[in-house]
């Protein structure tokens, strides 16, 4: 079904140590020196600056260029929050959390988590495309600015936020000379051998005048040059101008001119290109060729022709193309998407296209869930990450229709690997709660979807430390599975009840439930990452009951199965148990090697639960090797991660043993004051720095213990805050 990049494709949703996470500029930025300086001055005096202007005027590109120039003034860098794809204002807070790489595994409201985590940040947030969510966005921005004195917001939209202290900077068209440079620059991209003479330069000036220096209009015009030439461009623009702006009373001239430029470009497209443009407007975010072929093809646009028609839209700058960790993706500016959506509505085809879009993403989620248990696990995570705006849109479409709510339940449940394995528990809880509130189940396919959503909700609630919600969802799932004769759903419910018992320090009860679930999986022929995690959880229950040999044997089996299927996520948890056994046996080098693999995998998938457990055990191994300073640094570094995960060590005495032993050892060696100094230094590290430090230490030979009370600063310790530890 899918053609994905090879196994070496990188996937890392963390900041990776950079200062901005801003999109890479694909072509030259032209002009706007005055506006850039104005933004810099405005941000020097205000923490909220809003760049406003019509669609296509270049305000987003301007804001991103300004932010890139200012990023060194913010210790935690710059983050882009793109809100244009969202339709539900309740998702704005999740978009901010995602952009800040804040992962929270608790059941606290996402807004509360955000406001708590931004409090100590020094960052510039670029909030783009908020106008359709202005009320909710304005309220959230106001709260963020009140709670976080080190945060500044550069908002980009078609209207102000109207928040106290806001400085509004209108963006107008490019000046004549800059407009001509922009057009010539973009023309050179499509006609590398073009050398304009004096007559051409005069035509360029005339075209820039007619298009009012609007960057999007100029870029659309330049993209037509290979087909019709500069003189014909001017002629056709003159033919269309009056027609396309008539009847728009009270519209600002540059709004009419932009519509003229887009409409004129639309008129110059072939009928197939116009049709594809309209149909592509159903995508909320980046899409690949296969998605476009499935969703947009039909009798008037055969699937085999979509690639050529899409290429035509790329050539005309209606659609842009980029290479991503998930492979080649296409997208449209929001202005162009909105124009296409208007045509789709006029064609009366919106509902059919949205339904095809939903069907594609149901299939995509199903494929991802299956491929999660394979060597393509990291690539699947990248695909799901790239497709998140459209997966959200598909769930929204389902939940808007009572007769399709079961499809929303199925989609929210099928994405368990993204919610749990890739650090999106809070958003997963949001969609699962919404989906389960819409439909009661009924016929077998409907009931199966409801049961899946229930056990996934139970799983999420367990990891969030919400035992009451978890128990209620799992009980409902188990009762429903029994009534429907769905043995697999019943097994998942029992499995997650066992996980809840494990985190509640009831290892004997956890063992009973987990064995029952695993027996049911075996009878049903069920084998996937969830099943393997059940075996790891059983191993932990055995270890907590003083049976380490049985735990090791079980995890060795899990590791073998994982390696045969190319599964990494569950394997990392098995390696954690094996590392603990190696430390217990005094084999510190082996424990360190196993933990380095855990840390690398958990960080790649942004699984903070696995990562923080591995880091705490690594700290204990480091202390056992005699390096009390480094152990204390690692201990300090885990504190902010636990804040994101939720209740430290799940409130469990069993899971708290490594930390308690490490802290006792290091305090005895260093003394209380030195220990606190080292732990504070670790707490100031960013998550990337912690992981880099942990992995680098695994490549070095153990160092001798440093003497207690020493005054030498430990090598590599930071002197200031390097970013939020939760990434």
Structure tokens at 429: 């809880």
Q: What percent of the chain has pLDDT over 70?
A: 87
Residue 134 tokens, joined: 């202005």
**3-class secondary structure, 126:** strand
| Mean pLDDT (whole number) for 208-237 | 79
Token readout for 220 is 């659309």
Q: Alpha carbon 598 to chain centroid distance? A: 22
Segment 230-257 mean pLDDT: 53
Q: Give the model's pLDDT for residue 714.
A: 34
Return the minimum-mean-pLDDT range out of 55-69, 545-559, 706-720: 706-720
Q: What is the mean pLDDT of residues 256-273?
A: 75
**Alpha-carbon span 180 to 173, nearest angstrom:** 12
Q: Which of 77-91, 217-231, 257-271, 515-529 has the highest mean pLDDT?
A: 515-529
- Going from the N-terminus, what domains does the chain have, and what CATH number goes with each? 33-170 (3.40.50.300), 176-268 (no CATH), 271-348 (1.10.10.10), 363-609 (1.25.40.10), 610-727 (no CATH)
Tell me the backbone φ, ψ of residue 263, rounded to 5 degrees. Answer: -65, -35
| Run of H or E including 288 | none
Task: Give the mean model confidence (pLDDT) for residues 269-276.
Answer: 93
pLDDT band per the 50, 70, 90 thresholds, residue 416: very high
Measure the CA–CA gap between 41 and 50, rounded to whole angstroms: 13
Phi, psi for residue 291 in degrees, rounded to 5: -65, -45
Work out whether the CA dihedral 526, 527, 529, 534 comes out positive or negative.
Answer: positive
Q: Which long-range contacts (CB under 8 A, 24 or more apart) does 91-94 make?
A: 91/392, 91/427, 91/430, 92/130, 92/133, 92/136, 92/137, 92/140, 93/140, 94/426, 94/427, 94/430
Residue 566 region, left (φ>0) first, then alpha (ψ -120 to 50), else beta? left
Q: Comparing 8-17, 415-424, 453-462, 586-595, which segment has the lowest mean pLDDT?
A: 8-17
pLDDT of 351 higher than 60: yes
List, for residues 658-696, the tens digit of each pLDDT value: 888 999 999 999 999 999 999 999 988 888 888 998 888
Q: How far apart are CA 310 and CA 291, in angstroms?
A: 12
Phi, psi angle pair for 157, to nearest 5°? -165, -175
The DSSP code for 461 is H
Given pLDDT bands bounded at 50, 70 and 90, which one contains residue 255?
very low
Residue 600 pLDDT greater than 90, yes or no: yes
**Between the CA of residue 492 and those of 342, 452, 523, what are the distances in Å?**
45, 9, 13
Residues 92-101: pLDDT tens digits?
A: 888 888 888 7
Residue 131 has pLDDT above 50, yes or no: yes
Task: Kindly tell me if the per-residue pLDDT of 1 is higher than 70.
Answer: no
Contact 57, 70 (CB under 8 A): no
The pLDDT value given to residue 710: 36
**Structure pTM?**
0.73
Reported confidence tier of residue 476, pLDDT bands at 50, 70, 90: very high
Q: Measured at the alpha carbon of residue 616, what is the angle toward residues 613 and 619, in degrees to the nearest 5?
A: 150
Q: What is the mean predicted confidence (pLDDT) over 194-223?
A: 82
194's tokens: 């073009």
Class of residue 19 by CB neighbours under 10 A (exposed 0-12, middle 13-18, buried 19+)? middle
Residues 6+ apart with CB under 8 A from 378: 9, 11, 568, 604, 605
Residues constituting the chain: 727
Paired sense of beta strands 78-82 and 48-52, if any: unpaired
- Can you say how many angstroms the Cα of residue 130 is from the centroid of all Cα atoms in its chain? 18
Q: What is the mean pLDDT of residues 209-229?
A: 80
Helix (H) or strand (E) holding 138, with range, is helix 134-147
Each residue's pLDDT tens digit, 698-727 = 665 444 433 333 333 333 333 332 332 222
Question: Are the CB atoms for 130 and 154 separated by under 8 Å?
Answer: no
Confidence (pLDDT) at 571: 95
pLDDT band of residue 191 (cuts 50, 70, 90) is: confident
The mean pLDDT value for 592-616 works out to: 91
Q: What is the mean pLDDT of residues 402-425?
A: 91
How large is the average pLDDT for residues 266-291?
A: 92
Instruction: Please state, for a pLDDT cut of 90, what percent of the chain lies above it.
Output: 45
Residue 226 has pLDDT above 60, yes or no: yes
Q: Helix-strand-coil percent breakdown of the chain, rounded to 5?
A: 65, 5, 30
Q: Return the SS3 of 59.
A: helix
Using the predicted structure, report yes or no on whether residue 656 has a pLDDT greater than 70.
Answer: yes
Average pLDDT over the chain, rounded to an integer: 84
Dist. CA 589–CA 596, nearest whole Å: 11
pLDDT exceeds cutoff 80 at 529: yes
Tokens of 419: 């919610």
User: Cα 395–398–400 angle (5° rounding)?
Assistant: 110
Identify the pLDDT of residue 443.
61
Q: What is the DSSP string of 372-390?
A: HSSTTHHHHHHHHHHTHHH
Residue matched to tokens 């995998």: 601
Condensed to tens digits (0 to 9), the pLDDT of residues 565-580 reads: 999 999 999 999 999 9
Pairing of strands 151-157, 123-128: parallel
Tell me the per-residue pLDDT of 609-641, one tens digit each, with 9 for 90 and over.
889 999 999 999 999 999 999 999 999 999 888
Beta-carbon contacts of residue 232 (< 8 Å; ≥ 6 apart) = none
**Among residues 346, 283, 294, which one has the least CA distance to residue 320?**
283
Distances (CA, A) of 470 to 338, 462, 591, 672, 674: 41, 6, 33, 40, 42
525: tokens are: 């022929």
Best CA proximity match to 566, nearest among 715, 372, 406, 419? 372
pLDDT at 244: 37
431-457 tens-digit pLDDT: 999 999 986 555 666 889 999 999 999
Q: Which pLDDT score, from 0 to 100, does residue 719 have?
A: 31
Q: What single DSSP character describes residue 366?
A: H
Q: Cα(641)–Cα(653) distance, rounded to whole angstroms?
A: 18
End-to-end CA distance of the chain: 33
What's the rounded mean pLDDT across residues 474-495? 95
- What is the pLDDT at residue 182? 86
The DSSP-derived string for 84-151 is TT---GGGHHHHHHHHTT----SSS-HHHHHHHHSTT--EEEEEES-GGGHHHHHHHHHHHHHH-TTE
């Amino acid at each position: 079904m899918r053609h994905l990049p090879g196994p070496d494709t990188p996937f890392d949703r963390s900041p990776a140590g950079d200062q901005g996470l801003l999109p890479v500029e694909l072509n030259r930025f032209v002009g706007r020196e005055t506006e850039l300086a104005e933004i810099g001055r405005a941000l020097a005096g205000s923490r909220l600056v809003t760049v406003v202007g019509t669609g296509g005027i270049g305000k987003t590109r301007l804001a991103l260029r300004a932010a890139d120039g200012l990023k060194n003034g913010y210790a935690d860098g710059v983050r882009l929050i793109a809100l244009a794809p969202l339709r539900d204002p309740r998702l704005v807070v999740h978009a901010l959390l995602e952009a800040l790489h804040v992962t929270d595994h608790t059941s606290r409201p996402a807004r509360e988590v955000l406001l708590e985590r931004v409090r100590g940040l020094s960052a510039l947030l670029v909030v783009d495309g908020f106008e359709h969510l202005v009320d909710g966005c304005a309220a959230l921005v106001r709260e963020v600015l009140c709670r976080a004195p080190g945060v500044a917001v550069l908002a980009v939209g078609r209207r102000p936020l109207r928040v106290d202290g806001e400085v509004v900077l209108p963006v107008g068209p490019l000046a004549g000379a800059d407009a001509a440079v922009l057009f010539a620059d973009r023309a050179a991209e499509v006609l590398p051998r073009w050398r304009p003479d004096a007559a051409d330069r005069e035509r360029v000036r005339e075209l820039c005048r007619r298009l009012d220096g609007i960057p999007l209009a100029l870029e659309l015009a330049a993209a037509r040059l290979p087909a019709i030439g500069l003189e014909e461009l001017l002629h056709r623009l003159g033919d269309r101008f009056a027609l396309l702006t008539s009847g728009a009373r009270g519209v600002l001239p540059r709004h009419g001119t932009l519509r003229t430029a887009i409409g004129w470009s639309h008129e110059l497209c072939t009928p197939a290109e116009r049709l594809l443009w309209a149909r592509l407007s159903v995508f909320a975010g980046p899409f690949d060729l296969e998605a476009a072929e499935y969703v947009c093809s039909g009798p008037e646009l055969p699937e085999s022709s979509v690639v050529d028609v899409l290429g035509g839209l790329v050539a005309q700058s209606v659609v842009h193309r980029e290479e991503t960790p998930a492979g080649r993706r296409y997208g449209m500016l929001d202005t162009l998407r909105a124009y296409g959506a208007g045509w789709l509505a006029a064609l009366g085809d919106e509902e059919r296209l949205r339904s095809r879009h939903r069907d594609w993403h149901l299939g995509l989620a199903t494929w991802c869930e299956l491929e999660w248990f394979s060597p393509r696990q990291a690539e699947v995570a990248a695909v799901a990450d790239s497709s998140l705006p459209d997966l959200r849109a598909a769930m929204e479409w389902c939940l808007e229709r009572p007769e399709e709510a079961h499809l929303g339940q199925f989609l929210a449940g099928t994405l368990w690997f993204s919610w749990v394995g890739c650090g999106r528990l809070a958003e997963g809880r949001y969609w699962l709660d919404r989906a389960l509130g819409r439909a009661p189940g009924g016929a077998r396919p409907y009931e199966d979807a409801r049961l899946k959503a229930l056990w996934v909700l139970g799983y999420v609630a367990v990891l969030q430390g919400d035992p009451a919600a978890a128990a209620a969802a799992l009980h409902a799932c188990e009762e429903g599975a029994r009534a429907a004769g769905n043995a697999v759903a019943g097994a998942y419910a029992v499995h997650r009840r066992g996980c809840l018992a494990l985190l509640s320090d009831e290892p004997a009860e956890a063992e009973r439930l987990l064995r029952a679930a695993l027996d049911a999986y075996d009878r049903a022929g069920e084998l996937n990452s969830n099943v393997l995690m059940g075996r790891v959880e059983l191993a932990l229950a055995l270890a907590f009951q003083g049976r380490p040999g049985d735990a090791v044997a079980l995890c060795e089996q899990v590791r073998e199965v994982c390696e045969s299927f190319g599964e990494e996520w569950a394997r990392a948890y098995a390696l954690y148990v094996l590392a603990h056994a190696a430390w217990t046996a005094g084999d510190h080098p082996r424990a360190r090697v196993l933990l380095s693999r855990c840390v690398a995998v958990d960080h790649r998938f942004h699984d903070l639960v696995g990562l923080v457990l591995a880091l705490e055990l690594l700290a204990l191994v480091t202390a056992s090797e005699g390096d009390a300073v480094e152990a204390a640094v690692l201990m300090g570094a885990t504190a902010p991660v636990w804040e994101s995960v939720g209740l430290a060590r799940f409130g469990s005495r069993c899971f708290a043993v490594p930390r308690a032993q490490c802290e006792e050892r290091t305090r005895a060696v260093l003394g209380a004051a030195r220990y606190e100094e080292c732990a504070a230094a670790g707490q100031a590290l960013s998550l990337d720095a912690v992981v880099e430090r942990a992995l680098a230490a695994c490549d070095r030979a153990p160092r001798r213990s440093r003497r207690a009370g020493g005054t030498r600063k430990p090598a590599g310790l930071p002197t200031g805050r390097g970013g939020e530890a939760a990434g």
